[in-house]
Structure 1
Amino acid sequence: MLTRSPLSSREAAAYCLISDFKIALGHRALQPRRRRQRAKTVRSLCHHLRSPACGATAGRRARSRLGSAASRLCSPGRRPRLPRARGGLRAPAPTPPPAPSAGSLALARLGLRGRPRPGSLGVAALGEVAWRRARPGRRRRLQQVGTVARLWIYPVKSCKGVPVSAAECTPLGLLSGHLRDRFWLVINKEGNVVTACQEPCLVLISLTCDGDALTLSAAYTKDLQLPIKTPTTNAVRKCRYNDKCDAHSDASPFSILSEASLADLNSRLEKKVEAANFRPNILISGCGVYAEDSWDELLIGDVGLKRVMACSRCIFTTVDLDTGITSRKEPLETLKSYLQCGPCEQKLYGKSPLFGQYFVLESPETVKVGDPMYLLGQ
């Protein structure tokens, strides 16, 4: 019997298929040398099918070869001679008791239902099944890399964020009730967008949502209430921030940062900074320092996210969140000392340091604080 212990799950599926055929059909075992050769062929094909370089045409060829190799590996060889009866006629062979078909056993081992056609077509069909189980699109065992520690929504760009325990992930960002991430922004009389880079005191404005009204509050001023639904009589200015969405996030709807990376930065600073200085939507705990830089595809609960680019940092990070005064130095200078991009990426990021990662939504669902986060691609 073929050894399966050192094989991957995809290769093991193909070997289980071949082993089931040999047991169920009762074929004579091949010579050890030929069996090893054909098993090596099946193993190499499984390895080729899950490689990224395997295209559609090459996949069909390898899939056909996999079915043929499985067929040859469990071929019956010579038919046994039947005893001759008197008169030169062969005596009929005794009818064997009914046994489960090889196709049924192999499909059951692979977790599938159905019966293949008899003969070589059944072997080829199960070769197809083994290929589909070995292809790269199959979901593999998930690896947990962290846990959602905190969630923030920033309804007005550059104003204070609103911490939430759960939010719906949409193509435009997080949504909780009437609060959508970076859905509103401040403009001046000329219609130009104003952020905390020009007016640092914007970080002192907090927001609450009560019913259909949005309340903006700040120290030493009266509260300002605005209707969430704009009256049709008001003049509406449509400020498109980029070509893909109307939400006003800098580069992507989701910004992710880890607690470990923030702690490493604070270990280099005299005055500690908070996660709010970098305005992430999702703060992750339980991962390594700058582990988020290597994540490509993530699954948080049932939410699928895909990396777009790193977060380049500007003087916004130097604004004191308690006073609304910018120093224009820290933590930006420290970040520049060890988190600069490489020469090949300077055209994209310039001389800005990189801290955190931007992601886009692949499968919309609800994310909650405490949800485990799994790595799908690195």
Structure 2
Amino acid sequence: MQISQLFNYPVKSCKGNKLSTMEIDGFGPKWDRRWMIVDPDGRFITQRQVAEMGQIGVTVSSDRVCFDYHSEKIELSMIEAQGQKDERLVTVWQDKLSGNRIHHPVNAWLSQKLGREAQLIYMPQETVRQVDLEYAQLGDRVGFADGFPFLIISEASVEFLAEKVGYPLDVQRFRPNIVMSGCDAFAEDQWRQIQIGDIVFDLVKQCSRCVIPTIDLKTSQKQPEIMQAMLKYRKQGTKVMMGQNALHRGEGCITIGQEVKIIR
């Protein structure tokens, strides 16, 4: 069993980036969901409200952050992209926390693309957003992701669902960070701990899916047959589950092709 694909998502709910090597720091995948778009009241905006967010690409280099939407682009220096400290709180689900507000024309650019007033927020290095202690240890932190620093899924699980839907599904619909090959569909449901190189991952909770996997990556149109298939084959109680939320123990790099070992 090995890593087949790696992704990070610098801005919550915007397009992801395919990686050959992933650097992992205290937050999780480097730059993963360190930025977020909020409304005038500081509430997070996602594809659940504005499906077109998935059309906005974000690339991060050592000195710049570049946004693109089809043929249009706008860039910020890394200094600009890290914004300025602001005491006003922003909201991610039940969490209220401070974030650096970014004062740059990117806000008007994003507002125009999303059709609503938008403000870009950055989570500075000193922020500790505690992961739910029902699943994590004190000090485990996460960026602006819904709840956990990693989402792990197998190619076979997505292929199973694609067979039921009747057409191929890009794994990026499920917004994973680490994709595995060489195992059976939904084998990840049984994993509790895996190791990749020197880094151990605790798989602590199956991922409850919302409408986002039904959104076509190219057109932003919803395809309800995908949710219907998940309801038929992946329903547990009142929720549908695909993939595993995970916490990392250690920092470093992982790469495509690297062996994945099941510890528990």
Give the CA deviation at 1:273. 1.6
Matched residue of 2:263: which SS?
A: strand
Give the CA deviation at 1:170. 2.5
| Corresponding letter in the other structure for 2:19 | V
Please tell me whether the aligned partners of residues 297 and 375 of structure 1 are also in contact (alpha carbons under 8 angstroms).
yes
Q: 1:173 aligns with which of 12, 15, 28?
A: 28
Q: 1:155 aligns with which of 3, 10, 21?
A: 10
Identity %: 28
1:308-348 deviation digits (Å, cap 9, x = unpaired): 10011001111111012224x1311110112111xxxx4xx
Give the CA deviation at 1:235. 5.7
Q: 1:218 aligns with which of 37, 45, 69?
A: 69
Q: Which residue of 2 aligns with 1:206?
A: 57
Q: Which residue of 2 aligns with 1:111?
A: none
RMSD: 2.0
Matched residue of 1:267: which SS?
A: helix
- Larger strand proportion of the pair: 2
Aligned counterparts of 1:337 and 1:369: Cα–Cα separation in 2: 32
Scaled by the length of structure 2, what TM-score is found? 0.77
Q: Which residue of 2 aligns with 1:24?
A: none
1:176-221 deviation digits (Å, cap 9, x = unpaired): xxxx11110111222211000000000001122344221111026x
Aligned counterparts of 2:197 and 2:41: Cα–Cα separation in 1: 44
Say whether 1:267 aligns with 2:122: no
Aligned pairs for 1:247-286 (under 5 A) are 247-286=143-182
Give the CA deviation at 1:307. 1.2
| Corresponding letter in the other structure for 2:239 | S
Moved more, 188-197 or 209-218: 209-218
Q: Which residue of 1 aligns with 2:194?
A: 298
Higher relative contact order (CA 8 A, sep 6+): 2
Aligned counterparts of 1:271 and 1:167: Cα–Cα separation in 2: 29
Matched residue of 1:193: which SS?
A: coil
Paired residue total? 218
Say whether 1:227 aligns with 2:55: no
Please tell me whether the aligned partners of residues 169 and 303 of structure 1 are also in contact (alpha carbons under 8 angstroms).
no
Larger radius of gyration: 1
Residues 365, 211 of structure 1: alpha-carbon distance in 2 compared, 3 angstrom cutoff: closer
Q: Which residue of 1 aligns with 2:221?
A: 325
Scaled by the length of structure 1, what TM-score is found? 0.54
Please tell me whether the aligned partners of residues 252 and 308 of structure 1 are also in contact (alpha carbons under 8 angstroms).
no
For structure 1, the residue ranges without an aligned partner over 5 or more in a row are 1-145
| Corresponding letter in the other structure for 1:166 | T
| Corresponding letter in the other structure for 2:200 | G
Residues 225, 375 of structure 1: alpha-carbon distance in 2 compared, 3 angstrom cutoff: same
Say whether 1:339 aligns with 2:234: yes
Aligned counterparts of 1:171 and 1:314: Cα–Cα separation in 2: 27
Aligned counterparts of 2:189 and 2:82: Cα–Cα separation in 1: 45
| Corresponding letter in the other structure for 2:194 | L
Matched residue of 1:149: which SS?
A: strand
Residues 312, 364 of structure 1: alpha-carbon distance in 2 compared, 3 angstrom cutoff: same
Aligned pairs for 1:23-62 (under 5 A) are none
Residues 232, 275 of structure 1: alpha-carbon distance in 2 compared, 3 angstrom cutoff: closer
Say whether 1:187 aligns with 2:74: no
| Corresponding letter in the other structure for 1:194 | I
Give the CA deviation at 1:246. 5.1
- Larger helix proportion of the pair: 1
Please tell me whether the aligned partners of residues 207 and 215 of structure 1 are also in contact (alpha carbons under 8 angstroms).
yes
Matched residue of 2:219: which SS?
A: coil
Give the CA deviation at 1:238. 5.3
For structure 2, the residue ranges without an aligned partner over 5 or more in a row are 96-128, 131-140
Aligned counterparts of 1:232 and 1:248: Cα–Cα separation in 2: 14
Aligned counterparts of 1:246 and 1:299: Cα–Cα separation in 2: 20
Aligned counterparts of 1:235 and 1:169: Cα–Cα separation in 2: 25
Give the CA deviation at 1:227. 2.9
Aligned counterparts of 1:231 and 1:269: Cα–Cα separation in 2: 40
Give the CA deviation at 1:250. 1.6
Matched residue of 1:304: which SS?
A: strand
Q: 1:197 aligns with which of 45, 48, 53?
A: 48
Matched residue of 1:358: which SS?
A: strand
Q: Which residue of 1 aligns with 2:19?
A: 164
